[in-house]
Amino acid sequence: MSRDYSLGEIATHLTAQLRGNPETRITGLNSLKNASAGQLSFLSNPKYASQLGNCNAEAVMLTAEQAETYTGDCLILADPYLGYAKLSSWFDPAPQRSVGIHPSAVVHPSALVKDDVYLGPNVVVEAGAVLASGCQIEANSFIGARAILGEHCHISANVTLCHGIVLGDYVRVHSGTVIGADGFGFAPDEAGGYQKIHQIGSVEIGNNVEIGACSTIDRGALENTIIGNGVIVDNHVQIAHNVVIGDNSALAAFSGLAGSATLGANCTLAGAACVVGHISICDNVVLTARTLATKSITVPGVYSSSVTSALPSLEWRKNAARMGQLDSMARRLKDLEKQQK
Amino acid sequence: MSRDYSLGEIATHLTAQLRGNPETRITGLNSLKNASAGQLSFLSNPKYASQLGNCNAEAVMLTAEQAETYTGDCLILADPYLGYAKLSSWFDPAPQRSVGIHPSAVVHPSALVKDDVYLGPNVVVEAGAVLASGCQIEANSFIGARAILGEHCHISANVTLCHGIVLGDYVRVHSGTVIGADGFGFAPDEAGGYQKIHQIGSVEIGNNVEIGACSTIDRGALENTIIGNGVIVDNHVQIAHNVVIGDNSALAAFSGLAGSATLGANCTLAGAACVVGHISICDNVVLTARTLATKSITVPGVYSSSVTSALPSLEWRKNAARMGQLDSMARRLKDLEKQQK
Amino acid sequence: MSRDYSLGEIATHLTAQLRGNPETRITGLNSLKNASAGQLSFLSNPKYASQLGNCNAEAVMLTAEQAETYTGDCLILADPYLGYAKLSSWFDPAPQRSVGIHPSAVVHPSALVKDDVYLGPNVVVEAGAVLASGCQIEANSFIGARAILGEHCHISANVTLCHGIVLGDYVRVHSGTVIGADGFGFAPDEAGGYQKIHQIGSVEIGNNVEIGACSTIDRGALENTIIGNGVIVDNHVQIAHNVVIGDNSALAAFSGLAGSATLGANCTLAGAACVVGHISICDNVVLTARTLATKSITVPGVYSSSVTSALPSLEWRKNAARMGQLDSMARRLKDLEKQQK
């Protein structure tokens, strides 16, 4: 697992200006505070600039301005945080997969699996599925019938990709996630129960999408659920049937969209932010943590509906109890104002 | 996957009145807006009635009243939406399983598996489990020791059914879901830590129940967790130990019931609606999205405790900051009113 | 599955004083209300003391004080609820695993697996993983490369333990849970999209930790995510990258901590209580159900930010609509008070 690169090759990779010895060996990445000899660090948040003085890193990624006052070795680039991100794959400890199909994998003869694909132990690939070049499917994952995976998709262990779903290129799906399960569709029947609506649609996911662990993206009722390019999805996210999400939106943990909701491009759902069904959120909207959008939003901006902070419970309870009196309070206040005049 | 039925056989299946040629071929279902030649559509929401004029569907399911002003081919029935639901299985693209046990499945010799069951690749069935007629267990799922599955249960890939749980007939469980994991039971010990309480109870699920993806139903501490007939459960739902749920209740995504809570029949928990432990919700109650029930509810009706809608954050924050002053505001308002008299 | 112990051996195990015949056979545990002949019960909550009169249990665990007024057989001990907890494993119906590796398990030759380990069907253990003495890994679970499991870890079916994570001794992980998936780390790139930050850190979990079903603990970005000893985690819990949790804290269902949040020792997150990123909660803090902590908490105590209870929706909506007027109301109230003086 030892990884070892020269500062020079790192500078070339990041198109950064190098100040220092290009032969210096870099064996790891770390924060300014914890970096030690042989490690490369970076300054992303200006409030940590004071840590530069005591930093033991072998070299630091800095902006030109930050580098002026720093005397150690450094890589100078426009966005050190982005530089760190771009370099991070070089130090990723995840196992490198070799090409090939593990003997315990079960691949239907009608599936089209490119020669350079990796299929781990107990992977199941059903009839008519298509796995394009460079796909890696980790152990115990399931690829349903006629599912189509673009190039270089990486599917972690214990993932379920249901029949007929379509992934673009470079899609990353983490463990426990389920793509293409039935949407939650039922019609009330004559007997007071529910008649299942079979979900005939599918799921279409664009390129460069990453989906975290234990998340769900349901197949559409009639048409498809659609996720744009570059969308990033955290853990425990719920994307219901017929949701449409625009490019480069980000969905944090426990966020969700109910059926047929539309989320624009470049949106952010912070943790546990949710959107009810059949409404539309325009491009460039942020919903802060635990906000619930119950009406369509047509103006870009940051929206909230959650309390600002926790209070000691005894104090909070006195206030919360008044919430059920708010309308009365508002009316009484208005009455007083009238009398005042 | 091509599916092709005559309007006549569809009318017979739905006991609908047919206006048009019974020999017309129907190859798909679609919405009024998107339906094309060969497809059957339906009008469920009166607000879409105007779409009937431009609809390219081969035929439409309508009520008698709606059919009066429609000149195209149609199926006339009391509830077109229910008709669509009943017909949807005819167009379901999910793979049809043949009977049989995949050679890679691991079935304990003491398990009782009916001859017409389908067990996919890598399915594990432990000692003493019982799979009744017509069960279909998809790849990589686990059926624990002594679990009992009624007739025609359909278990998707990567599901976990723990030891001893009991499913009725026609139970559908989607991928990633776990039924019968230990309830969250611990007693504080002498050392300031926790002593695990082994969960001795099980889970009993009725007939015609559907459970979405990545949901959990925990086994009971001493007695069983119980789910009634016809209950429908979405994704990411938490049903804790010793919860009891009445028939035909519906639980949307992220909803949950804490330990020993009781939910009546014909209830609806909308998205993220939760019920705290040891309380009881009577029949015919709806909790709206993200409502938290902290006290028992004994009167049927619709209940809420979540804000109505998101506001721009700057505006919201000013208001949210006042929540911690509500009690003070209420007292001051009362003082003013006294002085006014 | 029949379990049968004498009252005498139970008294010895619990260091309890026995009042009754030590030869009496006990075949089960049950609540005061439901216990029948042959079953042992306990009184934990004084409000159920009245049930003692009609209790059909063979014997009851009581405190010395409770035992004074009870005439039946009993075990007298300081904490009957803890006694029940300690005894519960004796009646656990979970299958007892024998030592050995199922022929369908796939174990890399470089993995170190102790002789007395149980590996169920289709378990995958990758290169360099270490499974210490007494580990039990249930069917279809995945142990990634170089993961290290301490002694007597019990991993349920369909669990994913990613590469390099470290579990202490006696760690229990329930089905569907994922430990060590990538943290949600991305840097905005020049093109308006996201550059993935590969997650180089890992996850370290202490001893005697229990983690429920469908929960996620992400690996750290640079350093490790850390869970202390004795921590208990329920279902659907999200622990993001670089979270640090102190010993003996308890996290209920749907609770979560965002990236780099710190939770002290002996804390409780009730159901759906969440902590935003980069803040710190001190020891001995309780967040009540659905509380959102958005600022660090430095004083032990109970904190809340959720409404107290659900109201009928029509009534609630009138009040909720006033939340967006709170700031205005507070200002107008102040104006009135000024005029009053």
Check CB contact under 8 Å for C184 and A253.
yes
Question: Which of A142, A214, A302 lies nearest to residue B214, judging by beta carbons?
Answer: A214
Q: Which of B198, B281, B296 is the best mutation test for C, with the most CBs of C within 10 A?
A: B198
Percent of chain C residues past pLDDT 90, beyond the cut: 88
Tokens of B12: 């017979």
Question: Which of A122, A276, A325 lies nearest to residue B289, judging by beta carbons?
Answer: A276
Q: What is the DSSP letter of A297?
A: B
Q: Which of B70, B78, B94 is nearest to B17 (CA)?
A: B78
- First CA to last CA distance, chain C: 79
Considering only CB atoms, which chain C residues are within 8 Å of A307? 292, 305-306
Q: Is residue C176 domain-resident?
A: no
- The residues that bridge with C148 in the sheet, in sequence order, are C130, C166
Query: Catalytic: which of A13, A154, A241, A278?
Result: A241
Q: C242-255, pLDDT tens digit by residue? A: 999 999 999 999 99
Give the Cα separation of A262 and A264 in Å (integer): 7
Considering only CB atoms, which chain A residues are within 8 Å of C287? 310
Q: Directed axis angle between helix A313-323 and helix A326-340, to 10°?
A: 70
Considering only CB atoms, which chain C residues are within 8 Å of A252? 184, 258
Per-residue confidence at B201, pLDDT binned at 50, 70, 90? very high
- The residues that bridge with B69 in the sheet, in sequence order, are none
Considering only CB atoms, which chain B residues are within 8 Å of C208? 193
Judging by beta carbons within 10 Å of its beta carbon (0-12, 13-18, 19+), is residue A103 exposed, middle or buried?
exposed
Query: Nearest CA of chain B to the CA of A334: how many Å?
Result: 11
The answer to whether the beta carbons of residues B113 and B128 sit under 8 Å apart is no
For C83, the domain range is 5-91
What is the reported pLDDT for A308?
A: 67
Query: Nearest CA of chain B to the CA of A202: how many Å?
Result: 9
CA atoms C57, C62, C65, C68: torsion sign: positive
Q: Is residue A125 domain-resident?
A: no
Lowest-pLDDT choice from B274-283, B332-341, C115-124, C283-292 = B332-341
Query: Nearest CA of chain A to the CA of C292: how many Å?
Result: 6
Kindly identify which residue of chain C lies nearest to residue B336, measuring between CA atoms: C337
pLDDT at A65 over 90: yes
Percent of chain B residues past pLDDT 90, beyond the cut: 88
Kindly identify which residue of chain B lies nearest to residue C96, measuring between CA atoms: B145
Q: Is residue C141 domain-resident?
A: no
Query: Nearest CA of chain C to the CA of A45: how many Å?
Result: 13
Check CB contact under 8 Å for C92 and B274.
no
CB atoms within 10 A of CB C289: 21
> C241 catalytic, yes or no?
yes
Kindly identify which residue of chain B lies nearest to residue C316, measuring between CA atoms: B304
Q: B217-243, pLDDT tens digit by residue? A: 999 999 999 999 999 999 999 999 999
Q: Is residue B284 domain-resident?
A: no
Check CB contact under 8 Å for C142 and A250.
no
Per-residue confidence at A48, pLDDT binned at 50, 70, 90? confident
What is the reported pLDDT for B308?
A: 67
Judging by beta carbons within 10 Å of its beta carbon (0-12, 13-18, 19+), is residue B73 exposed, middle or buried?
middle
What is the reported pLDDT for A321?
A: 87
- In this prediction, residues B298-325 reach a mean pLDDT of 89
- Identity at C258, one-letter amino acid code: A
Query: Nearest CA of chain A to the CA of B49: how many Å?
Result: 18
Give the Cα separation of B37 and B57 in Å (integer): 5
Question: Which of B200, B216, B254 lies nearest to residue C92, judging by beta carbons?
Answer: B200
Q: Is residue B207 domain-resident?
A: no
Check CB contact under 8 Å for B309 and A288.
no
The answer to whether the beta carbons of residues A249 and A266 sit under 8 Å apart is yes
Of B63, B91, B119, the one marking the end of a domain is B91
Q: Is residue C334 domain-resident?
A: yes
Per-residue confidence at B3, pLDDT binned at 50, 70, 90? confident
Q: Which of B137, B280, B319, B333 is the best mutation test for C, with the most CBs of C within 10 A?
A: B319
What average pLDDT does chain A have?
A: 95
- What's the domain count of chain C? 2
Query: Nearest CA of chain B to the CA of A276: how many Å?
Result: 8
What average pLDDT does chain B have?
A: 95
The count of C-alpha atoms lying within 13 angstroms of the C-alpha of C204, restricted to the half-sphere facing its C-beta, is 11
Check CB contact under 8 Å for A34 and C339.
no
Question: For chain B, how many residues are written?
Answer: 341
pLDDT at B1 over 80: no
Check CB contact under 8 Å for A184 and B327.
no
Q: What is the DSSP letter of C169?
A: S
pLDDT at C116 over 60: yes
Considering only CB atoms, which chain B residues are within 8 Å of C311? 303-305
Q: A164-186, pLDDT tens digit by residue? A: 999 999 999 999 999 999 999 99
Per-residue confidence at A78, pLDDT binned at 50, 70, 90? very high
- In this prediction, residues B105-120 reach a mean pLDDT of 98
The count of C-alpha atoms lying within 13 angstroms of the C-alpha of B238, restricted to the half-sphere facing its C-beta, is 32
pLDDT at C310 over 90: no
Q: Is residue C120 domain-resident?
A: no
What is the reported pLDDT for B63?
A: 96
Check CB contact under 8 Å for C310 and B294.
yes
Kindly identify which residue of chain C lies nearest to residue B340, measuring between CA atoms: C340
Please count the residue pairs, one from chain B and one from chain C, whose beta carbons lie less than 8 angstroms apart. Answer: 251
Paired sense of beta strands B74-76 and B17-19, if any: antiparallel
| B neighbours by CB contacts (3+ pairs under 8 Å) | A, C
**Any idea of the CA torsion for B87, B88, B90, B93, to the nearest 10 degrees?**
170
Judging by beta carbons within 10 Å of its beta carbon (0-12, 13-18, 19+), is residue A293 exposed, middle or buried?
buried
Considering only CB atoms, which chain C residues are within 8 Å of B252? none
pTM of the model: 0.97
Considering only CB atoms, which chain B residues are within 8 Å of A319? 323-327
Of B37, B57, B91, the one marking the end of a domain is B91
Q: Between C127 and B326, where is the model more confident? A: C127
Check CB contact under 8 Å for B288 and C121.
no
Question: Which of B159, B292, B332 lies nearest to residue C290, judging by beta carbons?
Answer: B292
Considering only CB atoms, which chain C residues are within 8 Å of A336? 336
Considering only CB atoms, which chain A residues are within 8 Å of B291? none
Q: Which residues of B243-280 are buried (b: 16+ CB within 10 A; e: fewer)?
A: bbbbbbbbbbbbbbbbbbbbbbbbbbbbbbbbbbbebb
CB atoms within 10 A of CB C33: 13
CATH number at residue B24: 3.40.1390.10
Q: Is residue B74 domain-resident?
A: yes
Per-residue confidence at C2, pLDDT binned at 50, 70, 90? low
pLDDT at B197 over 90: yes
Check CB contact under 8 Å for B95 and A163.
yes
Q: A140-159, pLDDT tens digit by residue? A: 999 999 999 999 999 999 99
Check CB contact under 8 Å for A290 and C297.
no
Check CB contact under 8 Å for C307 and A320.
yes
Kindly identify which residue of chain A lies nearest to residue C107, measuring between CA atoms: A121
What is the reported pLDDT for A2?
A: 65
Query: Catalytic: which of C102, C163, C241, C278?
Result: C241
pLDDT at C227 over 90: yes
Question: Which of A124, A164, A186 lies nearest to residue B140, judging by beta carbons?
Answer: A124
